[in-house]
Amino acid sequence: MTKVIDFLYDFGSPNAYLVHKTLPDLAARFGASVNYLPVLLGGVFKATNNQSPMQAFGGVQGKLQYHARETQRFIKRHDLTFHMNPHFPVMTIGAMRGAIFAQGKDWESNYISAIFDAMWVHGQKMDDTAVIHEVLTENNLPAKEIIEATQDQSVKQGLIDATSAAVQRGVFGSPTMFVGIEMFFGKETLPEIEEALIA
């Protein structure tokens, strides 16, 4: 039976982008698959009384500098392209609603990759509808259909429900992964996911 890794993500998380770039290859090495599950990180933070690392550790001497250095080591180790988005933090509610609408469609993976790359490779302002439309069009995605769907009540509720379900599973941030009922938080846990796939 093929093992499945649930990957709960928000496009606004740089670490979620880094996991997105590495997790599928990891899964493939063990004959597993990745199930992408969109959540709204702001909603997760509100429900769990959590904060972004910049807020939580901004006053801790050396913490953010170390975090940046650790991120650079990860990028080098995996030979990735990454640029900190100049508009960070970006309000991702529109893009995440788009991810809800994309679920199960044959262009879902293209949508996910296009938005992640726009955020963390090209540094685009992905809370601007005009920019989102341009990115979707450039990637041969149905831009008008997706943007209109983000205003549909069922899609809005879908993101709310997905976020609530994530919190119920114990999620407090992104990236979070599950193998079965075992939860893994952060890109640093990828080796532990490998161990779970071997078991």
Note the pLDDT tens digit of each residue in 44-92. Answer: 989 988 766 666 666 777 887 888 888 899 999 999 999 999 999 899 9
Note the pLDDT tens digit of each residue in 139-188. Answer: 999 999 999 999 999 999 999 999 999 999 999 999 999 999 999 999 99
| DSSP H or E run through 184 | strand 182-185
> What domains are defined for the chain?
4-198 (3.40.30.10)
Contact predicate 44/172, CB 8 Å: yes
Residue 186's Cβ-side half-sphere holds a number of Cα atoms within 13 Å equal to 8
